[in-house]
A and B are shown apart, each in its own frame.
Chain A
Amino acid sequence: EAQVTQNPRYLITVTGKKLTVTCSQNMNHEYMSWYRQDPGLGLRQIYYSMNVEVTDKGDVPEGYKVSRKEKRNFPLILESPSPNQTSLYFCASSLNGVSYNEQFFGPGTRLTVL
């Protein structure tokens, strides 16, 4: 089944404790992206990757890191999480980042930073 998977689905952590949220897709998509969704602010793009070893900042990259060492994986790293990073996070992938290619979203990761 074609899908985007994220782990963990739920995470409660404390300020400053490094964490990684994994994202994997099995559709051989070139484009992958991370979003956070907050009430009243909608979905905002954190980072995106056009292909392996190519990553770019989105709208809200501060406090986050990503890597794209393999085509299928795009982990999101919070080196020192803070309470303002409490949010619902979505990973997404599409064939490429241009034109009318559909983005497929993972199920989301609900992160709480205390």
Chain B
Amino acid sequence: RKEVEQDPGPFNVPEGATVAFNCTYSNSASQSFFWYRQDCRKEPKLLMSVYSSGNEDGRFTAQLNRASQYISLLIRDSKLSDSATYLCAVNTGNQFYFGTGTSLTVIP
């Protein structure tokens, strides 16, 4: 069983739409959780960490549900510049596990 499962998409949404991504993780001992953004085979860059209390950064909201073992990312008011691949990541015992990434294209 994969440590982290993520819907690969693609998601094609119009500008201004709200879009949500989910990831599930298999190890209940996982300690920390992240969303990374990756543009066109460039290096991943941290978008936001995901805390138990949930956190928000502008148009982006991340949530963690430990009971159901999933993390989510909500993007409101999508911009063209949001087009990218979004990777979830989980830290379990000093190792990092990434989802396969979800491709998002925001259409004018």
A and B together in one complex: yes
Q: Which residues of A contact B (CB under 8 A)?
A: 31, 33, 35, 40-45, 48, 50, 56, 58-59, 88, 90, 97-100, 102-103, 105-108
Interface size on B, residues (CB 8 A): 24
A42: nearest chain-B partner, CB-CB: B100
With a cutoff of 8 Å between Cβ atoms, the chain B residues found around residue A98 in the complex are 31-32, 91, 94
With a cutoff of 8 Å between Cβ atoms, the chain B residues found around residue A107 in the complex are 42-43
Interface on chain B toward A: helix, strand, loop, or mixed SS? strand
- B87 interface hit (Cβ, 8 Å): yes
In contact, B87 and A42 (Cβ under 8 angstroms): yes
Q: Which residues of B contact A (CB under 8 A)?
A: 6, 8, 31-32, 34, 41-46, 49, 51, 87, 89, 91, 94-101
B99: nearest chain-A partner, CB-CB: A42
Distance between Cα atoms of A98 and B6 in the complex (Å):
23
In contact, B49 and A108 (Cβ under 8 angstroms): no
B71 vs chain A, min Cβ distance (A): 13
